[in-house]
Structure 1
Amino acid sequence: MTSTQAVRFAAVGLDHAHIFGQIAGLVGAGAEFAGMATDDPSTAIAQRVRERYPEVPVAASPDELINQDGIDLIVTAAVPDRRGPIAVAALRAGKDVVADKPGCVTVDQLEEIEKAVSQSGRFWSVTFSERFEVPSVIKAGELVRAGKIGTVVQTLGIGPHRVGDRAHLAGGDGRPDWFYDKNRYGGILTDIASHQIDQFLWFTGARTAEVVTSTVGNFANPDEPGLQDFGEILLRSDNAQGYIRVDWYTPAGLPTWGDGRLTILGTDGYIELRKYVDIAGRDGGDHLFLVNQEGTQYIDCAQVKTTYYTDLVRDVRERTTSAAPQEHTFETMRLALTAQQQATVRGAAR
C-alpha cells in the first residue's frame, strides 16, 4: 500500500452504538467506508448506520465483506460473543481488525485471535474508547510522561453506566436480549472493566499484572439474573496497584450516562479526571485536576486532540501498531477475562 492510497474499511456487525464513533473516527482520519453488513439488519442501530451513510454499499452477509478483495480493515461492534469469530475470519482473510470492546468474551476466543494474528501478520485492535476517545485521558498521559506527578504507583478507575441510556439504545429502544445474557456480553468485568484495565497498564507502564481479587454481583436487577450490575477488581503489577469499580447504577438525575472518573496516584502528586461530567461544577466534560509539589491546577481538556483513528490508518499503511501495541491489547483482554472467570459471584447474579 502506498502513502497516497486510501485505506478502505468495512463495518461488519452493527449491534452497539459504539460503531458510530468507530466509523466517524476512521472516516475523519481519511479512510474510505467501503461497505457494511450485519447479522441482524433490522436492529435500530443498523438502520441508523444505513440512514447516516446511504451511499455505502450494504452486503448480504458479514462473510461477503470479510472475504472481499480491496478491503484493508474490518471494524466491528457486533454482539460481543460474535466479535472474536469475526476477528479470526477477517484476520485469516488478510484484513486488519478493529473491534469494539470487549474484543472477545472467552479465553478460547482470545487464543484463537492470538493465533490468527501470528499466522496472518495482521493486527487486532480493541477500541478502548474510554482512553482512545477521551481528550482528558490523552492529556493525563502527557502529564504523567512529563514527570508531573513522579512515578505512578496506583490507578483508581470507576466506570458507572446507565441501563436506560438513550445514546446507546438507538432511538430509545430498550436493551436487546443479549444485554442480559452473560454468555453473549461476557460479564461486566470482561465488558466494561476492560477499559479500566487498559488504563491501568498504560498509565503505570506495566506489561502484565495479576488479578488479586475480583467480584461481580447483581444487587438491583433480581428479575434479570443474567445481568451483572456491579463489579470490582484489584490488580497488582511489579511496580503498581490498581482498583476498578464498574456498575449499572447511574441514576436518571445525572445528565449523562455515567460519572466516569480516574485518579492517578504518583510519588509526587496525583491527577483526577472527571471525564464526562463535573457534578455541580463546570459544564461539559474532560475536566482534569493536577495536584503536585508546585500546587493545584485545573485543565480544560475539551480541545485536546485524540489520535487513535489517525494512528490506526497509519498502522494499516506502514504495518505498525502505534495506536495500541499488540501485546498490550492481548494482555488487557487476558486480564479482563481472568478477572471475570475468577470473580466471586454475589446477589442475584449467576
Structure 2
Amino acid sequence: MTPTQPVRFAAVGLDHAHIFGQVAGLIGAGAEFVAMATDDPSASVAVKMRERFAGVPFADDPDELIARDGIDLVVTAAVPDRRGPIAVAALRSGKDVMADKPGCVTLDQLEEIEKAVDQSGRFWSVTFSERFEVPCVLKAGELVREGRIGTVVQTMGVGPHRIGDRAHLAGGDGRPDWFYDKQRYGGIITDIASHQIDQFLWFTGARSAEVVASSVGNFANQDEPGLQDFGEVLLRSDNAQGYVRVDWYTPAGLPTWGDGRLTVLGTEGYIEMRKYIDLAGRPGGNHLFLVNQEGTQYIDCSDVETTYSADIVRDVRERTTTAAPQQHTFETMRLALTAQQNAVLRGAAR
C-alpha cells in the first residue's frame, strides 16, 4: 500500500444500527467504502444502508465479497453469532477486521479468531463504542494517566438500555427476532457488559483478570425467556477490582436510551462519568466529575476528539494495533464470554 492509496473497506453483515457509525467513522478517517453484503438484505438496517450509500455496490454473496481482492478491511455488524465466522473468513482472506461488539458469542468462536489472527498476521478489532466513541471516557483516561486520582483500585460501570428504543438497534423498525434468541445474541453479559469489561481493563491497566462471580436474570420479560434483561459481573485482577451491571430497564420517561455511568476509584480521588445524560442537570452528554485532594471539578467533554476510526485506518496502513492492543481485545471477550457461560440464572432467564 502506497502512502497516497486509501484504505479500502467492505461492510459484511448489516443487521445492527452500529454499522452506520462504523462506516461513517471510517469514511471520515479517509477510508474508501467499496462494497457491502449481508445475509438478510431485507433487514431494516440493510435496507437503510443501501439507501444511505446508494453509490456503493451491493454484493449478493457475502462469502464472495470477503474473498475479493483489493479490500484491506472488513467491517461487520452482523447478527452477533455471525460476527465470529465472518471475522475468521476475512482474516484468512488477508483482511483486517473491525467487528461490532460482541465480536463473537462463544469461547470456541474466540479460539478460532485467535488462530486466524495468528496465522494471518492481520488484526481483529472489536468496536467497544462506549469507550472508543464516548469523549468523556477518553478524557477520564487522560486524567488517570496524569495521576490525578492516584492508583486506580476499582471501576464500577453500569450499562442500562431500553428495549423500546427502535433507532438504537434496528434502524427504526424495532427489535428483530434474533434479539430474543440467546444463542444468536450471546446473552446480556456477552452483548452489553463487554463494554464495561473493556473499560475495567483499560482504566486499571490490567493485562488479564478473573471473573469472581456473575449472574443473569429475566425479571420483567417472562413472555420472552430467551431475553436476559439483567446481568452483573464481579471482576478481579492482580491490582484492581471491577463491578458491572447491565439491564434493559430504561423507562420511557428518560429522554435517552440509557443513563450509562462509570466511576473510577483511585487512592487519591475518583472520577464519575455520566455518558449520555446528566439527570435533571446540564444538557447533553459527556459529563465528567473529578474529585481529588484539590477539590471537586466538572469538565464538559463534548469537544474531546475521538480517534478510534483514524487509529484503525492507520493500523491497517502501518501494521500496528494502536486502536486497541490485540491481546486486550482477546482478554475482554474471554472475560465476557466466561462470565456469561458461568452466570447464575435468575428469574425467567435461560
Q: What TM-score, normalized to structure 1?
A: 0.99
* SS of residue in 1 equivalent to 2:179: helix
* Distance in 1 between residues matched to 2:144 and 2:134, nearest whole Å: 16
1:48 and 1:221 map into 2 onto residues whose CA distance is 29
In the TM superposition, residue 170 of structure 1 has moved relative to its aligned partner by 4.0
Q: Provide the secondary structure at the position in 2 that maps to 1:74.
A: strand
Q: Distance in 1 between matches of 2:167 and 2:34?
A: 25
Structure 2: distance between partners of 1:234 and 1:101 = 20
Query: Take 1:170 and 1:54, find their aligned partners in 2: how far apart are those partners?
Result: 19
Q: Is 1:255 paired with 2:255?
A: yes
**Partner of residue 148, structure 1:** 148
Q: CA deviation at 1:65?
A: 1.2
Tell me the residue number matched to 1:230. Answer: 230
- Segments ≥4 residues shifted beyond 6 Å: none
The aligned residue for residue 349 of structure 1 is 349
Indicate the larger mover: 161-170 or 182-191: 161-170
Q: Secondary structure of the residue that 1:336 maps to in structure 2?
A: helix
1:48–1:170 Cα contact (<8 Å) kept: no
| Distance in 2 between residues matched to 1:305 and 1:181, nearest whole Å | 37
TM-score by length of 2: 0.99
* More displaced stretch, 164-173 vs 51-60: 164-173
Partner of 1:300: 300
Question: Which digits, 9 at most, give the CA deviation of each residue in 1:189-235, with x for residues without a partner?
Answer: 00100000000000000000000000000000000000000000000
Aligned-pair distance for 1:44?
1.1
> In 2, distance between residues paired with 1:58 and 1:314?
26
Shift of 1:129: 0.3
Distance 1:123 1:171 in 2: 28
Report the Cα offset of residue 171 of structure 1. 4.9
Corresponding residue number in structure 1 for 2:178 = 178
Work out the percentage of aligned pairs sharing the same amino acid.
Answer: 83
Task: Please give the secondary structure, in 2, of the residue aligned with 1:192.
Answer: helix
Q: Deviations over 1:163-194 (max 9, x none)?
A: 01122244532211100000000000001000
Deviations 1:34-85 (A, max 9, x none): 0000000001111111111111000012112101110000000000000000
Gaps of 5+ in 2: none
CA contact (8 A) 2:166 2:175 kept: no
- The CA distance in 1 between the partners of 2:303 and 2:2, in whole Å, is 31
Which digits, 9 at most, give the CA deviation of each residue in 1:121-142, with x for residues without a partner? Answer: 0000000000000000010000
Structure 2: distance between partners of 1:224 and 1:91: 36
| Residue in 1 that maps onto 2:43 | 43
1:276 aligns with 2:276: yes
Match of 1:110 in 2: 110
- CA–CA distance in 2 between the matches of 1:36 and 1:282? 40
User: Do the aligned residues in 1 keep the contact of 2:165 with 2:174 (CA within 8 Å)?
Assistant: no
- Count of residue pairs the alignment pairs up: 350
Find the aligned partners of 1:9 and 1:162 in 2 and give their Cα distance: 32
Residues 174 and 184 of structure 1, relative CA distance in 2, 3 Å threshold: same
**In the alignment, which residue of structure 2 is the partner of 1:192?**
192
State the Cα RMSD in Å. 0.6
